[in-house]
Amino acid sequence: MHPALLASATLQPTRIGPEQFETYRQGLVELLIDGVRHGASIGFLADLSLAEANAYFDEVLTGLQDGSRLLWVAGEPSQLLGSVQLCLCQKRNGLNRAEIQKLLVLASARRRGLARALMHGVEAQARELRRGLLYLDTEAGSPAEYLYRSLGYTCIGGLPDYACGPDGQYRANAIYYKTLSSPAL
Ligand SMILES: CC(C)(COP(=O)(O)OP(=O)(O)OC[C@H]1O[C@@H](n2cnc3c(N)ncnc32)[C@H](O)[C@@H]1OP(=O)(O)O)[C@@H](O)C(=O)NCCC(=O)NCCS
């Protein structure tokens, strides 16, 4: 992305609901494909197609509609720079926890604080919803580990050969958590 465009873009993350989703769908698809092309291990292989990406976002939309998933974006609909999701456990005995998924920043917009801003948005909302335990997994050894550690997440280990990166090679994951508050009684 051109630096001038980046400077003028909306960097403040916004949470979007199902009614705004279609405005952002194309940008979300492009962001996902950009991440995979740049080697991010986020659940897809290098041959990720538009159809597969759209099918994935159909599932995301279903989660937004049924309230089990929250979605944040940063940037304009025509040029999304970053995104993250929070999956709210729906089990009656798991209402204290939520999983952070698909934190992704456009390769040309990285190291400008966007992921940190997205994570702050997630954590503020989680606090409001009294989801006191946040957790996630990411590829072991990836730059994302620096980010999560810098935000106070604790690594509890990982599983070997957990998932393939876009290159088809299996790698270990690293599992992180952060306690925001004690469970609501
Ligand atoms: C991980 C990722 C989301 C970081 O996004 P970003 O917008 O570049 O991160 P930020 O600019 O907010 O970085 C915040 C801090 O995280 C750490 N950090 C982020 N990227 C880093 C890197 N490549 N190397 C070292 N530290 C890094 C630094 O502490 C940084 O603070 P600093 O820039 O003041 O030193 C981005 O690299 C990405 O989209 N990667 C591919 C997808 C992915 O792996 N997502 C996580 C899956 S769960």
Question: Which pLDDT belongs to residue 128?
Answer: 97
| Residues near ligand 1 (Cβ within 6 A) | 35, 40, 42, 103-105, 110-116, 136, 138, 142-144, 146-147, 150
Calculate how far, in angstroms, residue 105's C-alpha sits from the geometric centre of ligand 1: 8
Q: Which residue has the tokens 């004690």?
A: 182
- Identify whether 89 is part of a domain: yes
In a domain, 130, yes or no: yes
Domain extent at residue 83: 10-136
Evaluate whether residue 72 is within a structural domain. Answer: yes
Would residue 65 count as lying in a domain? yes
Give the pLDDT mean for 148-162: 98
Tell me the residue type at 20: Q
Q: What is the DSSP string of 123-169?
A: HHHHHHTT--EEEEEEETTSHHHHHHHHTT-EEEE--TT-EE-TTS-
- Distance from Cα 144 to the centre of ligand 1, integer Å: 5
**Nearest CA-CA partner of 175 in 113, 103, 106, 100:** 100
Is 24 contained in some domain? yes
Mean pLDDT of the chain: 94
Transcribe 1-66 into DSSP letters. --HHHHHHS--S-EEE-HHHHHHHHHHHHHHHHHHHHTT--SS--TT--HHHHHHHHHHHHHHHHH
CA of 185 relative to ligand 1 center, distance in Å: 35
Q: Are strands 97-105 and 133-139 parallel, antiparallel or unpaired?
A: parallel
Mean pLDDT of 83-107: 98
Please give the single-letter amino acid code of residue 40. A
Instruction: Report the atom number in ligand 1 closest to the C-alpha of 111.
Output: 11
Q: Can you tell me the distance from the alpha carbon of 123 to that of 174, in angstroms, rounded to the nearest whole number? A: 20
Q: Is 80 within the bounds of a domain? A: yes
- The answer on pLDDT for 3 being more than 60 is no
CA of 148 to the centre of ligand 1 (A): 8
Which atom of ligand 1 is the closest one to the Cα of 101? 48
* Strands laid side by side in the 133-139 sheet: 14-16, 69-76, 79-88, 97-105, 133-139, 173-179, 154-157
Can you give the pLDDT at residue 78? 86
31 located within any domain:
yes
Atom of ligand 1 nearest to the CA of 114: 7
CATH number of the domain within which 76 lies: 3.40.630.30
pTM of the model: 0.95
Is residue 171 in a domain? Answer: no
Q: Which tokens is 51 given?
A: 């159809």
Residue 1 has pLDDT above 60, yes or no: no
- Provide the domain count of the chain: 1
The label of the residue with tokens 């106070």 reads 152
